[in-house]
Structure 1
Amino acid sequence: MKKTTLTKFLIAPVAFGVMVGTAAAKDVEQGWFVQGNIGQATGHESSASLVNEVADVGDLQSMRILSDKRRSWNIGGGYKFDQNLSVALNITDLGVIELDSHGDHDAIAGIKALSGTATGLTAMYSHPLTEEISAHVRGGLAHLSARSNRTDAGHGTSDGSNSGLTFGVGASYAITSNLDALVDWDRFQFDREVDVISAGVRYTFGEVMTQKAKPAPAPAPVVKPVVEKQPEPAPVVKPAPVAPLKPMAVTVYFGNNSSSLNNETLTVLNNAKSQLVNDRVDTVNVSGFASSTGNAAYNQMLSEKRAKKVAAYIKQNWSVDADKVVVTASGEKYANEAPTGAKARKVTVTVKFN
């Protein structure tokens, strides 16, 4: 056999297996099986090479093929290990070729027909395409037994044999869980090549084992969220009630027809400052007065001038907001209430607290 043919035989099953990969079918069949096919055989040979193979003759005259009756059949059996791998032993009838032979050589004189039977041992790989349809590829060794039938003028029959490789591809359809319909193409590689296309059935005796579905994973445990205990809010401390403060009042006096702040006046104002609660001061009322001596309009202006002088000092030295200091002037309005005129020339400062 040619080296290229052997290479094709070795590469074809491997390439097919890589192409289809490995898949999981619904059912996994295992057990012994039998099968039978019928079909058509086609030879790639000349009539002369056929005779030479059977009769071992080197000097051949021209021969003519009268009828190529290449009906073929196949019977066999084997064992299926699982859904993918099986082995089989098959006997294949390669058909009959009718010849018209003539010549002087005794070995070929009167040959009327050639027939051959191939016995093959093969391994097969199957790949499920659907739940019912599978594709397969196989390869192995085959032994050819050939026979030539002669006329009465010849020498009866003559037998020959040869060994070689066989390989093929096909498909199957699951009619039931045990019965499959087959379509196959096979090549027998001897000194000549023979192709067989056939169809048939296969019956598997083994039990059908259904793959058990993997159990669903257990649900993940429910983790209850950890609720952190919130700290209790701090108790609201109500501020202690603030004791009300009584208004503070001071009076400073001025000389006749004067609005100047003398030392005695400054001492009184500074002493009052030391008694203040500054953050609770609400208003500081500064009121100016004058005696009834002189013109009333002048006295009004003089009382206002005295009040503004005291207010300016308070704003500058008492640390009190300026907008809390309120200035008023009454002139000689209350002069008659004073025991003497000197007591009427004054400014009163009244501080109210909140």
Structure 2
Amino acid sequence: MKFKSISLAIAALLAASTVNANEHKEGVYFGVFGDYYKADWNDIRDAAGVDVDDSTGWGAEIGYRFNNNWSGRFEYADMDFDLSGAGTGSLDGDRFGLDALYHFDDSPFYGLIGLKSVDAYENLTFANIGAGYRHYFNSNLFVNAEAAVYQGLDRGYTDVGAKLGINYFFGSSKPVKKVEPAPTPTPAPAPMALDSDNDGVMDGDDRCANTPMSDAVDSTGCTKYEERQASVKLLVRFPHDAAKVKQQYFDDINEVVSFMKAHESATVVLEGHASAVGDAQYNQMLSEKRAKVVAKQMMSDGIDGTRISTVGYGEERLKNTANTLEAHAQNRRVEATVTSTERVKVKRK
């Protein structure tokens, strides 16, 4: 029953938090422990018919960590054996011994092997082998649990034992040696790329060689264009009750003609207007006549008639509604706005 309790305690410790200080330490540590030892000594010498059974007790140990893998310790345990058979009660005993411990890399587990002297009725020598677990609460304080098998060297006894202890480490952490990565080889320099026309696009990607230095270019090295709107306005005024273009407006008409020649897709709507003086039906006819007179002048300058439209608004769209000579003069007119969208080069910045 005692052995089962100790085993459960060890299992609980091994299942505890996995946060463990596994740092490599060197130095001295000291600990105390609770001890369970299952003996099976029947009819021992010098005490006929007496059997020696389990022992529970306490002990202390002092050890030294040599390096990352090895440590050694000396232990003492005060033992209290139960007696059965011809004897009853208990028997005091002592256990002294040395152990070598092997610590597995980056693991809280370790193995152990040692030699022990057990003094109870007589002094017996045992070799032992076992395994254990350490859990650090901080850089110095840790608990350990272990189990071992004991084999008698001068008697054929085979015993088992378990320990649960707490220890304090007086050493210091040994820094882990940092392994520097191997230097990355420097790659050979890439061959120099060429940009023959200095437009910022390498020759291997340039689809338009020798673009003008004044032009902005796209990712393929070709001239970049943008759409822009261009427009020109026309205003021709007429005397009262007249539909003849005065000489002073020929230059204005010619400006519109030149624009339409430069923008071959452009068309124009000539809008004729009249003042509010006189009969409205007559003024309607007069406004249409004025628009057609301007159209005729443009056609004589070389603009195809299919590109020109005329419309008369009469006195419907007065520019100035006042009943004055100045207002009437402003309303006798032909107006037009010609707009064209043109594709122009983008200048390099």
Query: TM-score with structure 1 length normalisation?
Result: 0.43
Query: TM-score with structure 2 length normalisation?
Result: 0.44
Report the structure number with the largest CA radius of gyration.
Answer: 1
